Structure 1
């Protein structure tokens, strides 16, 4: 099986020749996506091509292990190609389902999923095509599938190169229906991927290159999206920024923002992009001393950058810009705004401490007390 991804951009109709080769196509999406005019038109086009498919359109946001168990019970018996169309949750589940349909997974998909949750990483899958409808998660470019474990107050990542799809389509027309708050929060999610990978202690030249390209596209376009949401060129650039964020994850890794956001999504179902937007600035403040030069390099990508500033001032100016950006995008900056109180913070801190895979990537080490302090800094 080829684990190298072919990336296409533009019209959805480019997928028709690829889908024409399948006998048992399984399309994975959710209720919000399947009702969109552009998606209905795309599905109608598939039907006109004479391509038969099974549609699963009730995938949940922030999927839990229980959600996946329930999904497995209602899947068709056979599939030879999975097409995932949606945000990060849809794309992650699509990756898992492509693994579970492979003959080597065995007939009992539930048992195979149990093994995946216990670090038995997948080795095979059936063909997989992913089409993101948000410019943020970068899930189409990562070898990860993230599943929430509410009982453990966190999330787990199932990771293997075979989770990378055969094809990705970046179609800006599929992102135009996103409400402004979702477009904003998913955009910040993409930025978190890029800046965390760039500042991670495991950062490397390949991941850094993806991160720098992605951040440049992000900073040059994100605020224009607010004023001209119908501009498909801007949307395409943000889709590329998101894709580069996923590619950076594949070569490096996220750290504290994601580690601290996992309990918010895993326990309280707070949307992932929104959780990351809440944590981006306080985490950058916490790690600044450990990656000042890297943050200064990111600052230099800003359209308003003043390159003559000392390095420490550039790093601080970046943090100031990020704080202003989150405010301009009208995203919440306090945990109280999403229903989290002071009494819940110790549980969040304990949950974040369990995300060792990401904590180990941080440019500065953190204690549970320091994580609690970060949460407290954004709680009234």
Structure 2
């Protein structure tokens, strides 16, 4: 297990040299990604080059505790090397598979339960992550997120051990995404960047990653909609997403993610979609106390006016975010995704239980204020 992650960008063929020396390889993905021609070709090459290849291609979105428990029963006794190809859910589960690969077969279920209660993984099999969405940045984070429906939330298993040995940013794998998936996952990347930049735990290292990532995001997000086959644009958004994950590793997200966790944990709303709903109202909530940093965000926008006063720059960021979500065609109301006003008090209570993220808020927040944020996007 390496101390540092090696990041490659470009064609998927680059992974051949990485995998040739491994005998027992497990590739994890989902049904949609499995059907991509590049992934089918990758699987064919792996079958020729390694002693034994296991392919698990039914990983679900927003994985729940029961999903991971079921997966554990399918795993082979020996796993030397894990390859995760997919969106954030696939990459998170691939991290856990790599941990289980270093546990005795009979002890894997118990090991998973220990991780859910706060124990940290200490070792794993070698790990290569290949994101197929430019959004979660999971390939750059030490996190694996699992939904716990009965608690209407998600649990983060967090340890530097979960950082992969290798990452491949292959833009051709993102071109098959429908436009609405490209939109929501891209906004997820922006949430990581702007939340980490404004978090109470922000720091110069995380801020540097966030600023680089936001510059790449703002310069490319509109281009990916008008020119979806432009591989350079898609690569730049993959880098923006990667820097978002790197920001999380050094800082942390806060209100957007804390409030989105119950939407995913209880209602299985896709993570990027939940975040895109909450981005604007949460940024409005912190805009004034974070005015200086919001002004720095404004200066990264393509048409920024450097002569604007700091207060106007901060407000202009909110205006930009509202316009962007609308331009991307993403829903802006909880009612649009089937959430009713009567369910909001439970969501607010559950959000406040995500203490790890609530603590990162740049301003203290009460349950009533969280409820008000939900109410602001519910009619």
Give me the CA root mean square deviation: 1.0
- CA positional deviation for 1:101: 1.3
Q: Does 1:163 align with 2:162?
A: yes
Q: Deviations over 1:255-313 (max 9, x none)?
A: 00000000000000000000000000000000112211000100000001111111010
Per the alignment, residue 74 of structure 2 pairs with 74
Task: With the length of structure 1 as denominator, give the TM-score of the two structures.
Answer: 0.98
2:296 — aligned with what?
A: 297
Residue 355 of structure 2: aligned partner? 356
Partners of 1:19 and 1:51 within 8 A in 2:
no
Matches of 2:207 and 2:145, distance apart in 1: 23
**TM-score normalized by the length of structure 2:** 0.98
Distance 1:147 1:364 in 2: 27
> Structure 1, residues 23-80: CA drift from partner, whole Å, max 9, x if none?
1000000111101122112222333445641100000100011110111111122111
After TM superposition, the structure 1 = structure 2 runs for residues 1-380 of structure 1, keeping only pairs within 5 Å, are 1-49=1-49, 52-103=52-103, 107-380=106-379
- Tell me the CA shift for residue 108 of structure 1: 1.3
Q: Counterparts of 1:9 and 1:36 in 2: how far apart (Å)?
A: 18
Partners of 1:106 and 1:209 in 2: how far apart?
A: 42
Contact 1:95 1:128 in 2 (8 A): yes
1:165-218: CA deviations, max 9, x gaps? 000000001111000000000000000000000000110000000000000000
Q: Please, which runs of 5 or more residues in structure 1 have no aligned partner?
A: none
For residues 106 and 5 of structure 1, the distance between their equivalents in structure 2, rounded to whole angstroms, comes to 27
- Tell me, yes or no, if the aligned pair for 1:20 and 1:51 is still in contact at 8 Å: no
Structure 2: unaligned runs, 5 residues or longer: none
Question: Which secondary structure does the structure 2 equivalent of 1:61 belong to?
Answer: coil
Give deviations 1:324-370, integer Å, cap 9, x for gaps. Answer: 00000000000000000101101100110000000000001110000
Query: Per the alignment, in what secondary structure is the counterpart of residue 290 of structure 1?
Result: coil
Give the 4+ runs in structure 1 shifted more than 2 A. 44-52
Q: Kindly state the Cα deviation for residue 157 of structure 1 after the two structures are TM-superposed.
A: 0.5
Alpha-carbon contact 1:349-1:372 (below 8 Å) kept: yes
Q: Distance in 2 between matches of 1:55 and 1:161?
A: 26
